[in-house]
Structure 1
Amino acid sequence: MTALDTAAAYLGFRSHAVLAETAADLLPKFTLSTKVGFFPNTGGAEHSLDPSRLRLAIEKAARELGREPDTVLLHNPERSLTSLSPDEGHALLGSACTALVDAARDGLCRAWGAAVWDTRLLGVIRLEDLPPPDVLMVRAGFLVGIELLDSTTVLRNVWQAGETWGMSPFGGGNGKVWEDFDPRPFLRTPHDGLSRAQAAFRTAFHLPSAAAVAVSTDNPGHLAQLVQALGAKVDTTAVSQYLRALHGHRQS
């Protein structure tokens, strides 16, 4: 494992400090990404795309981590856009993107992007003239519906995103799904004894096509199994057939 992904809001806004304390001198050996956009308040957390608050959050992240993160992502930017008109959303998202572009230019991170939970909510924003993100992190895997997969494809093409990263391939840890559904036929044979969870994780790199997929766990053995699954080959023809079936089901 060589990459870590976190967010300012994780662990009750203590994730950066805890990670720095836990990893100590090992932290520089990892590629590190984090997210900004949620801020503590008396009710727990509030979301904001205010560029000055984002800039301060990025500076704070570097201080707490003891190093600059490699990538900084806008954390669920759609949260602050849903109540705005398309023009207002365009202006607000544009100013937020510019804040991250400036942070990268100033050496506070190497790359920037957005972690979007519901890509459909950005569909009304005119993205063509906004700064294109280096990274677009989106939900990935079998538990993502075809409408969301289609909106993700449109979003990353229109916004001219660089890399796509996946997240939440297990849908929040709903293990019962994999008792009822076996994703191993989506791997090329032989499966080398891989579990259903391993097959689901490996196939998530193609739903949608992603350069990386982030997972969370408190079980090192689980992470070891997922790393092992990276050596498996995905049957891309089976994945294409699956997507066509989802489209057909939606249209029927």
Structure 2
Amino acid sequence: MPDVGGASWDPRPLADIDLSGLPRPETLMVRAGLLVGVEILDATQAVRASWNPTTVWGMSPFGGSTTQTVWETFDPRPFLHGPRDGHSWTQAAFRIAFHVPAVDAVAVSTDNPAHLRELTEALHLNINERAADRYHRHLRQQRHG
């Protein structure tokens, strides 16, 4: 039998229904990264717990594009652990996408070999998990006022 996979840009509707009668996907793909809202992150966690997929992939770690204006003012390098010199903000944003939410792999779309090389070189970078966890807690607090 072929593997079943699922992808959701917005898993909130899935979090609100009983998924037990549906086939369990081997792979679940969800949005990942610092621009994903807390409602999406919480829904992702609920769907993941309900379906229990073998692997979870993240997608769209830059919120759709590296040219969004948010990236002109927001530097994600403080989410890296250790020296940050020599690493770009795109590398930091890509690497943190593996932790917000926790995923096994991150898919990106590019036709630029230099961009792909830059991202693959970021895979060895360490995430400051305490900073990432504080960020997630802050998002939750903001939502609950």
TM interval, short-chain normalised: over 0.9
Greater helix content: 1
Answering whether residue 60 of structure 2 is matched by residue 173 of structure 1, we say no
Note the aligned Cα RMSD (angstroms). Answer: 1.2
C-alpha contact 2:61 2:108 (8 A) present in aligned 1 = yes
The code of the aligned residue for 2:18 comes to R
C-alpha contact 2:4 2:23 (8 A) present in aligned 1 = no
Structure with the bigger RCO (C-alpha within 8 Å, sep 6+) is: 2
Paired with 1:189 and 1:120, the residues of 2 have a C-alpha distance of: 35
1:42-85 CA deviation, whole Å, 9 max, x = no partner? xxxxxxxxxxxxxxxxxxxxxxxxxxxxxxxxxxxxxxxxxxxx
C-alpha contact 1:165 1:211 (8 A) present in aligned 2 = yes
C-alpha contact 1:183 1:199 (8 A) present in aligned 2 = yes
Q: Residue in 2 aligned with 1:134?
A: 26
Task: State which structure, 1 or 2, has the greater radius of gyration over its C-alpha atoms.
Answer: 1
TM-score w.r.t. structure 2 length? 0.94
Q: Once superposed, which parts of structure 1, at least 4 consecutive aligned residues long, lie more than 6 Å away?
A: none
The code of the aligned residue for 1:153 comes to Q
The code of the aligned residue for 1:248 comes to Q
Q: Secondary structure at the match of 1:144?
A: coil
C-alpha contact 2:57 2:105 (8 A) present in aligned 1 = yes
Q: Residue in 2 aligned with 1:242?
A: 135
Paired with 1:220 and 1:210, the residues of 2 have a C-alpha distance of: 24
Q: Residue in 2 aligned with 1:120?
A: 12
Question: Where does structure 2 lack aligned partners over 5 or more consecutive residues?
Answer: none
CA apart distance, 1:130:
2.4
The one of 201, 218, 226 aligned to 2:119: 226
Answering whether residue 43 of structure 2 is matched by residue 151 of structure 1, we say yes
Equivalenced residue count is 144
Output aligned runs, 1:72-83, within 5 Å.
none
CA apart distance, 1:192:
4.3
Paired with 2:129 and 2:82, the residues of 1 have a C-alpha distance of: 13
C-alpha contact 2:28 2:56 (8 A) present in aligned 1 = yes
Paired with 2:16 and 2:126, the residues of 1 have a C-alpha distance of: 37
C-alpha contact 1:138 1:152 (8 A) present in aligned 2 = yes
CA apart distance, 1:149:
0.2
Paired with 2:16 and 2:106, the residues of 1 have a C-alpha distance of: 26
Question: Where does structure 1 lack aligned partners over 5 or more consecutive residues?
Answer: 1-101, 105-110
Paired with 1:163 and 1:192, the residues of 2 have a C-alpha distance of: 32
More divergent stretch after superposition (184-193 vs 223-232): 184-193
Output aligned runs, 1:73-112, within 5 Å.
102=1, 104=2, 111-112=3-4
CA apart distance, 1:213:
0.2
CA apart distance, 1:129:
3.2
Paired with 1:173 and 1:113, the residues of 2 have a C-alpha distance of: 25
Paired with 1:208 and 1:196, the residues of 2 have a C-alpha distance of: 19
TM-score w.r.t. structure 1 length? 0.55
Q: Residue in 2 aligned with 1:205?
A: 98
